[in-house]
A and B are shown apart, each in its own frame.
Chain A
Amino acid sequence: MDVKVMFFGVLAEVTGTTFLNYTGVKTLSDLRQRITDRHPEIVHYNYRIAVNNLFTDDDCTLSDGDEVAFLPPFAGG
């Protein structure tokens, strides 16, 4: 399963990237664990996750080509 992962705002700064591809990920909790292993400092930040533009939770199963976004608190306006 190939998924596209995007980081925004302060999370792009913390992870040092705005975009990563992950292969072989089945669920969102698997993905979160892999990202936390790679960027342990991310646990200190508040964020929500959207899959294909919809907020979701840890139990979500991922499909090939899904777009997973890590979204810190919004600050528009």
Chain B
Amino acid sequence: MHKFLSEGPLTAEQLSRLMSLMKDRSDTGGHSLFIGQVRADIVNNKSVTAIEYSAYESMVNDEAESIIAQIRTEFSDVKTVEILHSTGIVKAGEVSLAVMVSAGHRQQAIQACSKTVELIKERLPVWKKELLEDNSHIWRENRG
């Protein structure tokens, strides 16, 4: 089974491995890569130092497969969709999400990548606890 979750921040090696997938294909002409980074937001006058992600892994796998199937149905030129999401603690400035969409041409690669990120926020059973500088925390929800 495809592994969509990774413990801790995504590393440069993991991102590099994603990009290296393209060398195995000759039917793609455009790749769109989205990288999500933890932002040091200010919440109640306190800085976010990290996010602790938790996930329902078996449902993440089902939903991620479903999202990929939907994208490939909606965007006929898309050849592959790769999704990698962190679990556990990811500090501000570190990377927590990577999506790479490869297509025959750039337009569908870019549009499908954007749509994939929106579907991840809407449908992937992942939760985030923002850890603040005074050791308090706040549970954050994605807005519709």
Q: Is B120 an interface residue (CB 8 A)?
A: yes
Closest-CB distance, B85 to chain A (whole angstroms): 6
Distance in angstroms between the alpha carbons of A9 and B140 in the assembled complex:
10
Residue in B closest to A46 when the chains form the complex, CB atoms: B141
Q: Is A73 an interface residue (CB 8 A)?
A: yes
* A50 contact set on B, CB distance < 8 A: 56, 59, 125
* A67 contact set on B, CB distance < 8 A: 58
Interface size class of chain A, counting residues whose CB lies under 8 Å from the partner chain: 10 to 19
Which of A8, A69, A74 is in CB contact (< 8 Å) with B142?
Answer: A74
B127 & A69 in contact (Cβ 8 Å cutoff): no
B97 & A9 in contact (Cβ 8 Å cutoff): no
| Count of inter-chain pairs, beta carbons less than 8 A | 70
Which of B58, B62, B129, B142 is in CB contact (< 8 Å) with A76?
Answer: B142
Interfacial residues of chain A within 7-38, with CB under 8 A of chain B in the complex: 8-10, 12-13
* A74 contact set on B, CB distance < 8 A: 121-127, 141-142
Q: Is B22 an interface residue (CB 8 A)?
A: no
A53 & B142 in contact (Cβ 8 Å cutoff): no
Closest-CB distance, A68 to chain B (whole angstroms): 12
Interfacial residues of chain B within 82-96, with CB under 8 A of chain A in the complex: 85, 96
- Mark B residues whose CB is within 8 Å of A: 36, 53-56, 58-59, 62, 85, 96-97, 117, 120-129, 139-142
